[in-house]
């Protein structure tokens, strides 16, 4: 079983791999979740740069929480990451 399939099937593995700084996990996150965040930001009048910045910030937040063992998911990893990105984008919009 390849790493991508393992990550797809196991959010806990994805989270622990992210915390360990696994570049394959990070690559998987960008390939599978970034497009959804980009579409969301575009629909809310953002640019590609905005989407990238928000996504990077959201991944950093998850990385820090995963590394400190303070994140226990009660939903899918992708759902959580997208909701963090959405919150960050709405916060950024409200400051404009």
Residues 6+ apart with CB under 8 A from 53: none
**Cα–Cα distance measured from residue 25 to residue 18, given in angstroms and rounded to the nearest whole number:** 6
Structure confidence by residue, pLDDT tens digits, 13-65: 888 899 998 999 999 999 999 999 999 999 999 999 999 999 999 999 999 99
Q: Which of 79, 64, 76 is nearest to 10 (CA)?
A: 76
Question: Per-residue b/e over 11-45, b at no fewer than 16 CB within 10 Å?
Answer: bebbbebbbeebeebeebbeebbbebbbebbeeee
Q: Has residue 9 got a pLDDT over 80? A: no
CB atoms near residue 7 (< 10 Å): 22
């Amino acid at each position: 079983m390849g790493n991508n399939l393992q990550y797809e099937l196991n959010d806990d593995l994805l989270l622990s791999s992210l915390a360990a700084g696994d570049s394959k996990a990070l690559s998987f996150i960008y390939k599978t979740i970034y497009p959804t965040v980009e579409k969301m930001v575009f629909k809310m009048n953002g640019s590609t740069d905005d989407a990238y910045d928000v996504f990077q910030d959201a991944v950093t937040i998850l990385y820090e929480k995963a590394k400190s063992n303070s994140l226990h998911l009660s939903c899918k990893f992708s759902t959580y990451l997208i909701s963090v990105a959405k919150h960050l984008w709405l916060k950024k919009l409200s400051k404009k």
